[in-house]
Amino acid sequence: MQRIAAARRRVLTTCSLSGKSVLLAGRLSVASSASVALRQTRLQSTTAASSFASSQQTIEIPKKTDDDFIIVRHKDMPGSSGRDNFTAKVRERSEAFSIYYACLATGNVERAKSILSRLHNVPPATAIKLHNQYLFTLVGECAKAQDLSLMTKWLDKMQKELDIVPNETTYAILCKGALGLTDKDMREMMLKNFAEMFLKNGGVLGDMIGQAGVYSVDDIKALIDMFGLSVANIKQGSRQVIADALAAAERQVSEDDVQNIAEVAPTKVSGPGMHLLKQSLAALIDPNYSASENEARIPFSMLESYERQKILEESALDAAVARWKHDHETTVNRGKLNPLKKSLNALLWEWHQALVPLIEDEVRRCKEAQKNTTAASGADVDRLAYGPCLLLLSPEQLSTITILELLRLQGTGGVAEGMRVARAVLSLGKQVESEAQADMLKEQADNGILVGDMKTIFSNEKAFALAKAKAKARAKGDMATPDTEWRPDWPHTLRARVGSVLISLLMHVAKVPNEADDSVTGEKLVEVTPAFYHAYQYSNGKKLGVIKMHPALMRHLGTDPMRGNVHPRLLPMVVPPRPWLSWNNGGYLRAKTRVMRTRDAPEQLLYLKKASDRGDLDLVFAGLDVLGRTAWAINRRVLDVAVTVWNTGEAIASIPATDTNFEYPSEPPPDCDPAIRAMYVRKCKEVAHANQNKHSLRCDVNYKLEIARAFVNEKMYFPHNIDFRGRAYPIPPHFNHLGNDLCRGLLVFHEGKELGEEGLRWLKIHMANVRGFDKASFSERAAYTMENLEHIFDSADKPLGGKRWWLEAEDPWQCLATCFELADALRSPNPEKYISRMPVHQDGTCNGLQHYAALGGDIVGAKQVNLEPSDSPQDVYTGVANLVAAEVERDAAAGNSNAQELVGKITRKVVKQTVMTNVYGVTWIGARDQIEGQLRDVGIPDDRAFVLAAYVTKIVFSAMKSMFSGAHMIQDWLSDAAKIIAKAHPIDADDDTNMTAVIWTTPLNLPVVQPYRKISRKQIKTNLQTVFISNPDAMNEVDVRKQRTAFPPNFIHSLDATHMLMSALATSEAGITFAAVHDSYWTHASDVDKMNVMLRDAFVRLHQDDIMGNLKREFEERYKGYKTQMSALADSAEGKAVLAQRASKSRTKSTEADVADVADVADVADVADVADVAEAASPTSAVEAMFAEEAAPKKNKSVKWWGDLVFRPLPAKGEWDVQNLKQSQYFFS
């Protein structure tokens, strides 16, 4: 019998891109003039002296056609085919690449050569990179020997034995080797020979000389002179880079005078963090700082700020060690001291001193193992894999990274006082890899050719246009990334091996003093005990390996916290971030950064690269640049208050107290009732969890204060990137404006603006908003502020010694910051002339529901979320609460006992979280848990909260459906479409496994790929234990349930992300400072009215397009030819028709189909069934029948078949007109 697999062999009509079968059409129809104008203006300088005029063109949403979407066929997905093995010892090709490169980087050329000779079936583009890197390594050896035979022999082998065609980089490397010959005649002869070979193979001399990643400035000068060329002869992609480098070599930069910056007064914050940060940021704080004694002083000018940022990104590990050593020496100088009083830093220095020799010994063993790879056995086999990676960094660096990373991981992964082994080894391996890559980037940048002048790029329109052109040329291949710069990512297996060996060494030497009782005398003794130990614990029925911290070490961390790896690459920047020019080119100066946060999602990365290469992401890049170049500063007065609170140990606002931990309940007797014992265990877990949360929160506050303290006098920036849905996030994770209330209270804009009349009004409204009085009209909010001026002045003058009115606010730290700002403005001679730096927020009203209401055309829903004009703001949470309360009262009157308990207890707070998350796909169980917690807070007993929460949840869901009927129909359509897609199969798939992810394109051309796939884990033996880790490169079966439930919220998130970026672009064109926290937009008080107009216009432009129609058309084009498993009830019209067709075919064709066995999918899913369905029912009616079958009881018989993938008709859109939004003053408020 012919099966569906036979039909999948049908040939697809595709076009080829980069050797892969990809359906691609013309570029997305972005108006070129608007796009270019935008990209040229997005980096205008933040200073008047360096700014240039920006275009005032409106950035419209690109219009899409059916062939505008990037489509990658199943067989071309990464990881869709099996892996190649190249040796019994190193089985994964990705691991072999990493080890090969590490061997080259550490000088183990012979082993690299051995690995390279065993790599087979490597794609040609990768093969030439590997061989060029090997050739590049031979340059130094040939220069020492003054003989190029090693290089020429390898070139001969490449061509004759391996059939690898050399490229311009290959010949550039050969010329680089020839330039190292001291004999002038021999040098010139070899250069001419290589040039002739290159020209004979069809090359252009300027392309070879244009390999900036190979040559130094002197090399290029010599080649240009020898061949009688000029910079104009060099290929277009490299010409400007080399011209800039040659010009820079001729320039002499004059030194400016060092600007003296007043030292910030020290604060009495306990712990090493502030001092460590201050030392880490010496380049930031000290204008006389130099990276070494031989360097000139670094002036505090804008140009030199980039040098300080580079040092800032490179100095963390050395600064950490220096601080440890300092505290240890201070302890020693005090003389004999109780070991229990030893500081944490002093302990870390002792660990470091003990760990470095062990790492040196392990490195020696790795080197010994690599001398004879064929004889390696036992542990030496593993050393052949991880050894080259350890050699990339010094033992001192490896020791420091290991210590800091293990301390940072404390309490992660749901493990109290420790961490999961798998997470620890992978995270540490990743940190080692990142540090090694940073060192390599530093060496590459020190070349002097590939480093651009960031200040020039930011301040000069032409310079930015050239930088953009270079990045695009690289992406298209005109100026491909030099093979000598290729850095393969380490696979998880290699990270796990590196991490495990370092952790095992640290666990061997890390000791902590602990007080214990003598078992005989009962006296108090001080013993030295391991700081870490390996154990197992159960989580959700699974046995997990964990690394636990000794309680003595936890006490140190509790009183002397150093929770995070104090790493400047994770801190705000002191200069504007590098502009985003491609998917992996932007952000920090030296740290490797991608524009999208992808976690084990090779499919998403593939789509991202292709979109970047096609130029589809220009508008996304531009929006991120707007967010990144917003300059921030620390609010010094708020910081002073926060530090004072911290040092007193008092629990104020979000700062927890330093008092003793919560007490555990008394243990019941052994023979107690099992229920009592279970209650005791539950209470103990709750106390342990509360203690852990309190400790984590205090460490988090300490970390934020340390960072704020270090940046007090700085102008700082937050580079941004996006998640897979397009939502923007600051890259520095520990301190940014997306943080909690304390973070936001500590931040102000660096530049100020006059308030003006409207700005003063908005500052008063903002005061009421952060206080929590945000449901009234704007005039009522401003009046509320004026009525509380006495409290505002008291809070500003005596924040801790007065009435503490600000502490009663919904956002106390932001309220205090606004009290300071408003008091200063009102007390100034002319409040309207006051220069304000306070960010004023405009928040959407349940923004997800706003998008749903606009998509569905819901008139009632639009009114509830302030899309319709009104005299006062509507509150959807109160609206739902009123509906629920009314239903409860009706049920109570009818005698419902559950309802009678809840009369008068249904408040806005009870339903708010569920209403907010309903739009983002909260499940019924999740909503019940949310409401259960809120009911406990309003006095419902614990034993009744669960039952009553289930009752309330049902009413809340019903109220939401009645209020947002159109939105729920849209939500249902999205869920159904996702399920159909996730169960669909491409015609060229090899089996019936569900492999199809939901993919769509946002209005700004960002491809979104849902990453939800079933996890396949691989067993890896490490020094600590056997760990199971997922393979990030594997294309596993999709998780149909997650694909379905996550699509509606992810789609809405992609729309709110689009709206935010469109608003950012519009404000940038108007010269307005802009920052955003998803659906909360910030600007100066004086610009709020202007920003409000722009964000409304952006929302209208977004939703006046047929978003749902475009999505459906994209799905139909993207999944054209896919087959999906259809089903219908056996007694339905569709089911009967299919069964009748099969019966008829069975009689006429004698097929093997067993009509009676309708539940066996394999026996009914043949290709002929496709025709049956077409005759029996329309595709649309077949889809409706499928969903009817799913809703029916499982006992009902059903029939299944394979049919063309079709989608339900879109729900009819309501009558609400999006243009009405322009008149709604409370849309964002």
Nearest in space to 325 (alpha carbons), one of 276, 281, 395: 276
Same domain, 454 and 568: yes
- Among the ranges given (73-77, 247-251, 582-586), the one the predictor scored with the smallest mean pLDDT: 247-251
* Domain membership of residue 568 as a residue range: 273-574
Q: Is the pLDDT of residue 1009 over 80?
A: yes
pLDDT for 511-559, tens place per residue? 888 877 666 676 777 788 888 888 877 666 677 788 888 888 877 765 5
Active site residue 912: yes
> Residues 912, 979, 983, 1145: which is the catalytic one?
912
Same domain, 1182 and 1105: no
> Residues 843, 929, 1204, 1217: which is the catalytic one?
843
pLDDT for 949-971, tens place per residue? 999 999 998 888 888 888 888 98
Domain end marker among 963, 993, 1018: 963
Active site residue 476: no
pLDDT for 785-813, tens place per residue? 999 999 999 999 999 999 999 999 999 99
Q: How far apart are CA 815 and CA 741, in angstroms?
A: 9
More confident residue, 493 or 79: 493
Average pLDDT rounded to a whole number, residues 121-126: 82
Domain end marker among 543, 574, 605: 574
In terms of Cβ atoms closer than 10 Å to its own Cβ (0-12, 13-18, 19+), residue 1037 is middle
Q: How far apart are CA 822 and CA 793, in angstroms?
A: 9
Residue 598 lies in a domain: no
Q: How far apart are CA 847 and CA 313, in angstroms?
A: 37
- Among the ranges given (75-89, 334-348, 723-737, 1052-1066), the one the predictor scored with the smallest mean pLDDT: 75-89
pLDDT for 423-447, tens place per residue? 888 888 888 888 887 777 666 554 4
- Residue 48 DSSP symbol: T
Are the beta carbons of 835 and 763 closer than 8 angstroms? no
What was the pLDDT predicted at 569?
55
More confident residue, 847 or 42: 847
More confident residue, 903 or 20: 903
- Among the ranges given (79-83, 148-152, 598-602, 1179-1183), the one the predictor scored with the smallest mean pLDDT: 79-83
Same domain, 484 and 379: yes
Residue 918 lies in a domain: yes
Nearest in space to 595 (alpha carbons), one of 573, 576, 617: 617
Residues contacting residue 324 through CB under 8 Å, at least 6 positions apart: 345, 346, 348, 349, 352
Residue 1016 lies in a domain: no
Binning the chain into helix, strand and coil, the percentages to the nearest 5 are: 55, 10, 35
Number of H-type helices and E-type strands within the chain: 47, 26
Same domain, 288 and 237: no
What was the pLDDT predicted at 261?
27
Residue 913 lies in a domain: yes
Instruction: For the chain, state the CA radius of gyration.
Output: 33
Residue 985 lies in a domain: no
- What is the CATH classification number for the domain harbouring 940? 1.10.150.20
474: its two tokens: 């690289």
- Among the ranges given (873-877, 975-979, 1018-1022), the one the predictor scored with the smallest mean pLDDT: 1018-1022
Question: Which residues pair with residue 652 across a beta bridge?
Answer: 655
pLDDT for 281-290, tens place per residue? 454 444 444 4
More confident residue, 1194 or 150: 150
Q: Token match 């197992």: residue?
A: 536
- Among the ranges given (154-163, 355-364, 990-999), the one the predictor scored with the smallest mean pLDDT: 990-999
Domain end marker among 518, 553, 574: 574
Same domain, 206 and 350: no
Q: How far apart are CA 1068 and CA 1098, in angstroms?
A: 13
Q: How far apart are CA 582 and CA 214, in angstroms?
A: 22
Q: How far apart are CA 802 and CA 806, in angstroms?
A: 10
Confidence (pTM): 0.74
708: its two tokens: 């704020």
What was the pLDDT predicted at 306?
66
Same domain, 341 and 228: no
Residue 588 lies in a domain: no
Active site residue 794: no
Same domain, 230 and 139: yes
49: its two tokens: 């002296």
Q: Is the pLDDT of residue 154 over 80?
A: yes
Same domain, 1147 and 1099: no
Which among 214-218, 460-464, 639-643, 873-877 has the top mean pLDDT?
639-643
Same domain, 419 and 538: yes
In which order are the strands placed within the sheet that holds 1198-1204?
A: 984-985, 1123-1129, 1198-1204
- The number of distinct structural domains making up the chain is 6
**pLDDT level of residue 837 (50, 70, 90 thresholds):** very high
**pLDDT level of residue 304 (50, 70, 90 thresholds):** low
| 3-state SS, residue 1004 | coil
- What is the CATH classification number for the domain harbouring 815? 1.10.287.280
615: its two tokens: 């130029």
Residue 628 lies in a domain: no
What was the pLDDT predicted at 465?
56
Could you give the C-alpha distances from 883 to 854, 930, 1024, 1041, in angstroms and in order? 22, 18, 57, 31
- Among the ranges given (337-341, 564-568, 985-989), the one the predictor scored with the smallest mean pLDDT: 564-568
For every residue of 856-910, which 3-state class applies, written as one string? HCCHHHHHHCCCCCCCCCCCHHHHHHHHHHHHHHHHHHCCCHHHHHHCCCCCHHH
Average pLDDT rounded to a whole number, residues 15-40: 31
Which among 42-51, 653-662, 755-764, 1217-1226 has the top mean pLDDT?
755-764
Task: Give the number of other Cβ atoms within 10 Å of residue 772's Cβ.
Answer: 12
Residues contacting residue 213 through CB under 8 Å, at least 6 positions apart: 169, 444, 447, 449, 450, 481, 482, 483, 484, 485
What was the pLDDT predicted at 1063?
95
Q: Is the pLDDT of residue 36 over 50?
A: no
| 3-state SS, residue 729 | strand
Exposure of 386 in the CB half-sphere (CA atoms within 13 A): 27
- Residue 525 DSSP symbol: E
Strands 1007-1009 and 999-1001: antiparallel
Average pLDDT rounded to a whole number, residues 260-288: 42
Same domain, 516 and 386: yes
Q: How far apart are CA 328 and CA 344, in angstroms?
A: 9
**pLDDT level of residue 1157 (50, 70, 90 thresholds):** very low
Same domain, 776 and 920: no
Residue 77 lies in a domain: no
- Ranges of H-type helices in 337-378: 344-371
Q: Is the pLDDT of residue 937 over 50?
A: yes
What was the pLDDT predicted at 1093?
94
What was the pLDDT predicted at 331?
66
Averaged confidence pLDDT in the chain: 76
Q: Is the pLDDT of residue 1216 over 70?
A: yes
- Among the ranges given (21-35, 542-556, 609-623), the one the predictor scored with the smallest mean pLDDT: 21-35
Same domain, 698 and 760: no
In which order are the strands placed within the sheet that holds 71-72?
A: 15-17, 20-23, 71-72
Residues contacting residue 512 through CB under 8 Å, at least 6 positions apart: 347, 528, 529, 530, 531, 550, 552, 553, 556
- Ranges of H-type helices in 477-572: 492-509, 551-559
